[in-house]
């Protein structure tokens, strides 16, 4: 196991106390506050419920392609967030996607959606 994965796991445990699980209504309110398109709101809620169960600190199991998913929107470390020193598309570390302040994760999710629509997620 690489030292970055171990460090990431330890930091995620430390951040766990800052994480939260949104209620469905609370999630809708927060997505509105973050500027998500009202016409797509049901799609975003469905995505979040199926990807992370509405937990902000969720770290997914390793995917078939070796990637791992992070946070409320389950954003992949391959191409989107960084577990090391090189920046990816969203210019954030994967740890920044695990907090109860979802502004960083929301900005990244909207950027991914703009490029790939909902095809970027399985949920």
Paired sense of beta strands 75-76 and 69-70, if any: antiparallel
Distance CA 29, CA 15 (A): 23
Quick one: pLDDT at residue 15?
46
Q: Which residues are annotated as catalytic? A: 51, 69
CA distances (Å), 30 to each of 23, 63, 103, 108, 110, in order? 10, 28, 9, 15, 14
- Between residues 88 and 123, which one has the greater pLDDT? 88
Quick one: pLDDT at residue 18?
63
pTM: 0.82
Fold of 20-116: Lysozyme (1.10.530)
Q: 9 falls in which pLDDT band (50, 70, 90)?
A: low
Distance CA 18, CA 24 (A): 19
């Amino acid at each position: 196991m690489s030292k970055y994965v171990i460090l990431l796991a330890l930091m995620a445990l430390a951040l766990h106390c800052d994480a939260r699980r949104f209620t469905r209504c609370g999630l809708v309110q927060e997505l509105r506050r973050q500027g998500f398109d009202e016409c797509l709101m049901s799609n975003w809620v469905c995505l979040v419920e199926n990807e992370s169960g509405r937990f902000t600190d969720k770290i997914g199991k390793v995917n078939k392609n070796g990637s791992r998913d992070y946070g409320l929107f389950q954003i992949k470390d391959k191409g989107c967030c960084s577990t090391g020193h090189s920046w990816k598309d969203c210019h954030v570390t994967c740890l920044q996607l695990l907090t109860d302040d979802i502004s960083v994760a929301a900005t990244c999710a909207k950027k991914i959606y703009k490029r790939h629509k909902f095809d970027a997620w399985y949920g």
